[in-house]
């Protein structure tokens, strides 16, 4: 997985595989144990039956030998029984209890302890002749058949275990392919979405019903998140705009202007170029505002802003500093487009009478001051102060020339 | 008429018999190791025991003989006198008869042929052929004259041989285990 999980954390894959392995191991071991126990029980019962039969057979075979007291005949009749698997010792005694034959199998008992554990007691059969007991046969078992079974059982158990391991590996691969890979792909997508905010990504359909449902739910969630993200971005853009713009005129505000001025100074410093700052202030606007109301004042300001905006060149920047103060960053200053021409054109444009719905035509008059970077100052404050001062100088000149500029034309 | 009832513990162990040795049926050794094999009482006992054992493994057709068997002794027994089969659990009625009287009632289930003249024996054997009568002799070491079972003096003791031909011709059924012992002993 591509997730940055800690090394101590187990993966779903390993948990499932381990779980699978242990369950299978448990099942195989239990089945094997059950079969072994049942096998030993069955074998034990067969063994004791076998022993009984051997005893009966020995009793039948030894009977004439006992009747004729012929140990040789007894040996010949009974000896082959000792070659049978599971018969360890055969003892034939007469009615007085004395042994006429007591022979051991030539094959040694593979595990006397096992014999003691499983079939400690011999099978006993009486030898009858003419309805009278004339002797007794005792047959002892050995563990050869049990040991053979245990050996085969053990090997079979090992074989089953090997098959289990191989099967688990195959199942593990299937699990990997059918469950882990789709899940991994899903988590990759989710991770990528979270990391890069790419809400347009979608999880592909999966064959497993639960995972597919999870995937489609996540997709639906992505849809919603995508919608919200768009909304949030719009909101943010709006708020950013509001923070940096004047609500009345939609021009950049004081904060935006400060930022812009700093940036322009840095740029000019780097390029060793120059720019100009143009300070614009409406004459007698305060009086007009007081006399005719804020509605009218606002309309006038909006028109002024509109006219300033329309006069700008491509890289110029205009802002409303507040009240009736506007400022323009005239950048770049060049020989072919002198600032004086621009200011003249701007003044003419602004002083064109404004048509107001209720009060007829209003003729605005503005005072304009200019400052130059780097000539009039290197710091933003200095340039602004210089431009402000120039504007006031212009305002005084206006007052001296024509009294009461700016007013309604009757 | 003599009735013989025996409740003896007849099957006493064989002491001192080498397990690998080709042992003949040996009563003397088992019963009384101190006795010499040739002592009359022990050989008589052995012979009676063998006779009883052979009778116990013989089956008459239709179980004719019932629980009490008639044993007719013809001629002079060599190994045992009197003939008194040791047969716990069964009764054997022993009668002495002349060969010419064998066919009289009560009929014989078993005929014991002792020493007798050859013509008598031949007559008896031919008479018995095809009948359901068990024949035992103690006067035919090669077991060739036609009796089904022959008591034989071996090196140390008395044993028995089987004439399978005679058994096959009669209507008697004899337990194959006994036939096997008798055949092997004869070899």
Helix, coil or strand: residue B136: strand
**Distance linking the first and last C-alpha atoms of chain A:** 82
Residues of A in contact with B22 (CB under 8 A): 72
Nearest CA in chain A to B185: A73
Mean pLDDT within B112-122: 90
B111 touches chain A (CB under 8 A): no
- What distances in angstroms separate CA B162 from CA A20, A332, B99, B120, B167, one per listed residue? 76, 149, 22, 21, 8
- What distances in angstroms separate CA A385 from CA A266, A366, A389, A399, B101, one per listed residue? 18, 18, 6, 21, 177
DSSP state of B169: H
- Crossing angle of helices A12-67 and B176-186, in 10° steps, is 70
For residues A40 and A60, the answer to whether their CB atoms sit within 8 Å is: no
For residues A196 and A228, the answer to whether their CB atoms sit within 8 Å is: no
List, in order, residues 6 or more apart from A353 with CB less than 8 Å away.
A361, A362, A363, A409
ipTM over 0.90: no
Distance CA A271, CA A265 (A): 10
DSSP letters of A51-75? HHHHHHHHHHHHHHHHHTT-HHHHH
Nearest CA in chain B to A134: B11
Residues of A in contact with B177 (CB under 8 A): 60-61, 63-64, 77
| Interchain pair A67, B9: CB under 8 A | no
pLDDT band at B27 (very low <50, low <70, confident <90, very high): very low
- Crossing angle of helices A209-244 and A181-196, in 10° steps, is 0
pLDDT in tens, chain A (410 residues): 445 545 677 777 788 878 888 888 898 889 989 988 998 899 888 888 988 999 999 999 999 988 888 888 888 888 888 888 788 899 999 988 889 889 988 888 888 888 888 888 899 999 998 888 999 999 998 888 888 888 898 999 899 889 888 988 888 888 888 888 888 888 899 899 889 888 888 888 888 888 889 999 999 998 998 899 889 999 999 888 888 888 888 899 998 999 999 999 999 989 888 899 999 998 877 777 787 788 888 888 888 899 999 988 888 999 998 888 999 999 888 777 788 888 888 888 888 888 877 767 777 888 899 998 888 888 889 999 999 999 999 888 877 765 444 555 54
Relative to beta strand B149-153, strand B158-162 is antiparallel
Residue with tokens 């063998």: B50
A102 touches chain B (CB under 8 A): no
Distance CA A109, CA A111 (A): 5
- CA A76 to chain B, closest CA, distance in angstroms equals 10
Relative to beta strand B110-113, strand B91-97 is unpaired
Residue with tokens 């120039």: A390
- β-partners of residue A325 are A281, A322
- Crossing angle of helices A12-67 and A144-175, in 10° steps, is 160
B23 touches chain A (CB under 8 A): yes
């Amino acid at each position: 997985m591509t997730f940055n999980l800690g090394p101590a954390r187990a993966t779903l894959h390993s948990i499932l595989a381990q779980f699978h392995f242990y369950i299978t191991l448990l099942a195989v071991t239990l089945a094997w144990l059950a079969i072994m126990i049942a096998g030993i029980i069955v074998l034990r019962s067969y063994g004791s039956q076998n022993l009984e039969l051997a005893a009966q057979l020995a009793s039948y075979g030894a009977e004439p030998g006992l009747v004729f007291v012929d140990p040789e005949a007894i040996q010949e009749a009974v000896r082959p029984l000792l070659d049978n698997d599971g018969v360890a010792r055969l003892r034939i005694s007469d009615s007085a209890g004395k042994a006429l034959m007591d022979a051991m199998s030539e094959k040694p008992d593979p595990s006397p302890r096992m014999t003691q554990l499983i079939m400690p007691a011999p099978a006993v059969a009486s030898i009858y002749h003419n309805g009278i007991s004339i002797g007794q046969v005792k047959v002892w078992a050995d563990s050869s058949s049990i040991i053979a079974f245990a050996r085969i059982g053990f090997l079979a158990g090992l074989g089953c275990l090997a098959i289990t391991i191989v099967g688990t590996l195959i199942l593990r691969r299937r699990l990997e392919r059918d469950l882990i890979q789709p899940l991994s792909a899903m988590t990759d997508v989710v991770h990528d979405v979270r990391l890069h905010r790419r809400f347009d990504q979608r999880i592909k359909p999966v064959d497993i019903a639960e995972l597919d449902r999870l995937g489609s739910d996540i997709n639906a969630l992505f849809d919603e998140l995508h919608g919200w993200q768009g909304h949030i971005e719009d909101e943010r853009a709006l708020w950013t705009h509001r923070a940096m713009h004047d609500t009345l005129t939609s021009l950049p505000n004081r904060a935006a202007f400060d930022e812009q001025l700093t940036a322009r100074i840095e740029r000019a410093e780097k390029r060793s170029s120059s720019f100009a700052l143009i300070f614009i202030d409406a004459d007698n606007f305060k009086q007009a505002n007081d006399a005719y109301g804020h509605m009218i004042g606002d309309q006038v300001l909006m028109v002024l802003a509109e006219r300033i905006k329309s006069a700008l060149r491509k890289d110029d920047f205009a802002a409303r500093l507040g009240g009736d103060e506007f400022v323009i960053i005239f950048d770049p200053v060049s020989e072919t487009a002198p600032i004086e021409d621009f200011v003249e054109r701007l003044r003419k444009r602004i002083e064109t009478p404004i048509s107001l719905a209720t009060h007829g035509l209003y003729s605005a008059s503005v005072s304009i001051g200019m400052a130059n970077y780097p000539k009039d100052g290197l710091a933003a404050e200095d340039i602004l102060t210089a431009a402000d001062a120039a504007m006031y100088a212009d305002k005084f000149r206006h007052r001296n020339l024509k009294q009461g500029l700016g007013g309604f034309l009757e | 008429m003599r009735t013989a009832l025996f409740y003896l513990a007849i099957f006493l162990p064989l002491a001192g018999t080498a397990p690998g040795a080709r042992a003949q049926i040996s009563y003397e050794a088992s019963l009384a190791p101190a006795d010499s094999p040739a002592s009359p009482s022990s050989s008589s006992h052995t012979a009676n025991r063998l006779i009883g054992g052979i009778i116990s493994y013989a089956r008459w057709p239709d179980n004719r003989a019932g629980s009490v068997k008639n044993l007719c002794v013809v001629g002079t027994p060599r190994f045992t006198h009197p003939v008194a089969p040791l047969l716990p659990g069964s009764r054997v009625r022993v009668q002495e008869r002349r060969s010419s009287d064998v066919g009289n009632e009560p009929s014989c289930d078993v005929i014991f042929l002792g020493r007798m003249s050859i013509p008598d024996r031949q007559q008896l054997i031919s008479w018995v052929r095809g009948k359901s009568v068990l024949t035992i002799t103690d006067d035919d070491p090669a077991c060739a004259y036609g009796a089904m079972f022959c008591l034989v003096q071996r090196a140390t003791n008395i044993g028995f041989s089987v004439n399978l031909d005679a058994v096959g011709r009669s209507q008697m059924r004899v337990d194959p285990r006994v036939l096997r012992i008798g055949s092997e002993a004869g070899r």
